[in-house]
Every structure is written in C-alpha cells, then in structure tokens.
C-alpha cells in the first residue's frame, strides 16, 4: 500500500477508542485511524466542516468503523446520513458495536451497513479483529469510486431528513481535492493490473 489507508472511527467511549487504537498498533496495521467522538462529529468529519476542513489532516476515509449506541446523533442516524448523500453512498461502513440485538443487526443492514461486527472486550480479540479488518477490507477489497458530483442533492437530502440546514457549506470543496491524491485513494491500495 503506497500510503496508509485512512479509517474513521466514530466512537463515543474513550476506553473503546484506546482499545481499538492499541489493537491496530499491536497488529502493525499501517492505517491512519482518525476518531470522531460522536455521531455529530462523524458527520462533520465527512462533510469537511469546522476543524475537519483540512483534508490533509483529516482525509476522507477508506472505511468507517461506526458505533451505534451514542448519545445525540447515534450510529443509525450517521449511517442514514451517509447513505442519503450520493457522494458517500458507496463508502464502506463497518458497524462495530457492543449490541448483538438482531433488531440492531437488521436495521444496520437495512440502512446500508457493509458489515456488522461485535466489539471485542478482550485485547487479544481486538487485535485479531483488527487483523481481519485489515486483511479483508484493506488488503483484498477493491474500493468503489465515490461519486462526488451531486453535492447540492446531498445537501437537499440532509435538509429533508433532519429538517434543518446541516453544516455542509464546505462540502463543495470535496470536488476540488487534488485530483491525483483523490484518484489514488479511490482506486484502492492495489496498482492496476
């Protein structure tokens, strides 16, 4: 992989953030793990708003690890927000939660989750899960090209879904990313061939 993949972890529990971060380090996974401490910040990260406006520091993720049970904007709302935006619909979202309730599993898949994983409670299990995520999602998966063309439609969908103007005014800059960096990230970690 020419450059580290970027992973966005949307997780409100600091001890789970530390567990996942240490598991990725122990597994020697070369990925930039960025953290949004709640659903609202996860959306702001993706939209490039506020402190997340610098895409060199906060690049668009290759995939998202998404907790479901968060105060305020929960993981289901974040997942719904992502899938409502044409520019993010094909973004890989892995639900990583402590819930094993079948209603949560069903709802997450209905909203467009790519995978549903239960958070491990032990460190070695977390390391093994980090390795599985790395092997399957970062080493063997071809990532789709993200459609960044319909920014206004994405804003309209968010207004309709949430009843207020979201802070998406900087979403237009997504289409102005450095073309070579964007194409490299969108084509995945493998060279053509």
| pLDDT tens, residue by residue, 17-41 | 999 999 999 999 888 999 999 999 9
Task: Report the alpha-carbon angle 23-79-140, nearest 5.
Answer: 50
In sequence order, what DSSP letters do the residues of 38-51 get, joined into one string? SHHHHHHHHHT-GG
Q: Which residues on adjacent β-strands are paired with residue 117?
A: 96
Q: Structural domain boundaries of the chain?
A: 5-186
Q: How many CB atoms lie within 10 A of CB 98?
A: 14
Q: What are the tens digits of pLDDT across the range 98-123?
A: 999 999 999 999 999 999 999 998 99
Distance of alpha carbon 16 from alpha carbon 139, whole angstroms? 24
Q: What's domain 5-186's architecture?
A: 3-Layer(aba) Sandwich (3.40)
- Whether pTM > 0.75 for this model: the answer is no
CB 58 within 8 A of CB 6: no
N-terminal to C-terminal alpha carbon distance within the chain: 15
């Amino acid at each position: 992989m020419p450059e580290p993949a970027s992973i966005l972890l949307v997780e409100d529990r600091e001890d789970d953030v530390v567990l996942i971060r240490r598991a990725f380090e122990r597994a020697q996974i070369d990925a930039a793990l960025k953290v949004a401490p709640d659903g609202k910040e996860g959306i702001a990260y993706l939209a490039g708003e506020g402190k997340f406006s610098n895409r060199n520091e906060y690049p668009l993720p290759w995939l998202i690890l998404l907790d479901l049970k968060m105060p305020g904007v929960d993981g289901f709302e974040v997942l719904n927000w992502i899938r409502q935006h044409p520019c993010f619909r094909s973004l890989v979202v892995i639900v990583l939660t402590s819930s094993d309730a079948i209603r949560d599993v069903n709802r997450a898949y209905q909203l467009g989750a790519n995978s549903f994983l239960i958070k491990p409670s032990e460190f070695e299990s977390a390391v093994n899960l980090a390795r599985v995520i790395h092997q399957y999602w970062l080493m063997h998966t071809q990532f789709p090209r993200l459609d960044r063309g319909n920014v206004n439609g994405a804003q309209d969908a968010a207004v309709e879904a949430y009843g207020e103007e979201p802070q998406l005014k900087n979403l237009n800059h997504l289409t102005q990313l450095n073309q070579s960096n964007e194409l490299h990230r969108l084509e995945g970690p493998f060279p053509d061939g």
